[in-house]
Chains A and B, each alone.
Chain A
Amino acid sequence: MAHSTHAAVVDEKELWEGGVSPFNISYGKTMMWFFLVSDALTFGGLLCAYGFMRHRFADLWPRAEHVFVHFPFVKEHIPLAYVGLMTFILIMSSVTMVLAVEAGQRKDKKRAAIWMLATILGGFMFLGSQAWEWYNFIVGTDHGTLRWVWSDEQQRYIQQMIHGANMTVNEYGIPQFANFFFFITGFHGFHVFSGVVLNIIIFIQVLSNVMEKRGHYEMIEKVGLYWHFVDLVWVFVFTFFYLV
């Protein structure tokens, strides 16, 4: 990609005098970057809050390898395997996205469409995996754990056998873990869902020759930036929820 020859196109001295983008990228891409910075700050803030709570309740915090141990069609408990698969799916869909961008830069409609479709499929696979992960977390284990819960009828705390987790009780540890898990992975899952919707729109536009008429496939780059950002957030969620 011949980005080293920028200076030949726009004179450095005239860059900041208006009329041209001083960043050498289009308006749409610049704004997508700025949006992603603000979105990254949101996720950064959420993960910092998570770290704060986890540090504070370090002795009560459940360990991920005791919680997320399920794998489809396997009876034995395998910690981390399923989330590893999810990570692989998302990284793979990031690669197919960047290949779609590259095909678009060659104005190769067929390849761009194929890689976009692969990205969409990867997105759906990830969403399905996350739904399955949530299902197992909410349902919990057969044996359950005894916890104190507030009883509205008796106006006091009573002991109850808890299976799984929700926003108020958590079988595996303190409720804050479940709250952060639902909120951060849910917020990320919502981003994945939005990304899939955007990808589908662009995929249809590629198929219906919108890009061909426009003369360039830059729109794929813009949704591609968003899609890579979703992958980027998952890399951090994966580390702080499952590994550390």
Chain B
Amino acid sequence: MHFHDDYPEYEKMAIHGEEEGKKARKVLWNVFWLMLIVTITELVVGFLAPEKGWTGTLSLRVFFIFFTLVKAGGIVLYFMHLKHEKTFLKYTILLPYSIFILYAIYILIVEGTYSMNPRFRNKVDKIYFEQQEQLKANAHHSESATH
């Protein structure tokens, strides 16, 4: 059976004429403009964030992650053509991936806070924090010496 090499009949349906090509190209360019606008908006917000005091806020992170997912959707659904594939293929690709990643994020959030426990943290980072303290003390010392 030469299963892998044949080009199934239904794939030839993707072959189209100039008329349909024009429509397809228009959709693709629209997706591109949307992605460009989203990226520029993200960059402007990222540029303004430090002086506006948005840096590190939850809403800023949600904003960035939301627009990242918008861009990812544009790429996967339109550029990778997943929107027009069979429903079963969509689920075969997206469901296992979403389950694994949601699980990884769940573990990250639930177990990740364990190491934020001050008792545990001080033990692990003791050397680092001691060094930083010493560094600060030295810097302060040399500063006061020059004055």
State the A residues within 8 Å of B (CB): 1-3, 5-6, 9-10, 20-28, 30, 33, 37, 40-41, 44-45, 48, 51-52, 55-56, 60, 63, 65, 79-81, 84, 87-88, 91-92, 94-95, 97-99, 102-103, 105-107, 146, 148, 157, 159, 174, 214-216, 218, 221, 224-225, 228-229, 231-232, 235-236, 238-239, 242-244
Contacts and interface: CB of A to CB of B under 8 A. Distances in A.
Interface string B24-61: 11001100100110011011001101100001000011
13 contacts: A2-B16, A2-B20, A48-B101, A48-B104, A55-B116, A81-B43, A105-B21, A106-B16, A157-B131, A214-B7, A215-B7, A235-B75, A243-B64
Contact of A235 (B43, B47, B71, B81): B71
Given A6-B13, A159-B135, 10 more contacts: A9-B13, A25-B11, A26-B11, A80-B46, A84-B39, A91-B32, A146-B139, A216-B7, A216-B11, A231-B75
Contacts of A214: 7
Nearest to A108: B21
B93 A3 contact: no
Contacts of A174: 128
A56 B46 contact: no
Q: How large is the interface on B (under 10, 10 to 19, 20 to 34, 35 or more residues)?
A: 35 or more
5 pairs of A and B residues whose beta carbons are closest in the complex: A239-B68, A23-B89, A148-B131, A9-B10, A84-B43
Contacts of B96: 37
Contact of B9 (A9, A41, A63): A9
Given A99-B25, A146-B135, A232-B75, A20 B8 contact: yes
B86 A23 contact: yes
A20 B3 CA distance: 9
Given A87-B39, A106-B18, A243-B64, A23 B76 contact: no
A9 to B, nearest CB: 4
Interface string B69-94: 00110011011110011101100110
Nearest to B61: A244
Given A63-B55, A80-B47, A106 B13 contact: no
Given A21-B8, A95-B32, A244-B61, A232 B39 contact: no
Given A1-B14, A33-B89, A99 B50 contact: no
Most chain B CB within 10 A, of A40, A94, A235, is at A235
B25 A102 contact: yes
A239 B65 contact: yes
B1 to A, nearest CB: 9
A102 B49 CA distance: 40
A216 B78 CA distance: 21
B72 A236 contact: yes
B72 A232 contact: yes
A87 B32 CA distance: 12
Interface in B126-147: 128, 131, 134-135, 138-139
Contact of A228 (B80, B84, B108): B80
B104 A218 contact: no
Contacts of B122: none
Contacts of B36: 88, 91
B46 A242 contact: yes
Contacts of B7: 26, 214-216, 218
Given A44-B104, A52-B108, A84-B43, A33 B93 contact: yes
A23 B13 CA distance: 14
Given A91-B36, A148-B135, A228-B80, A1 B10 contact: no
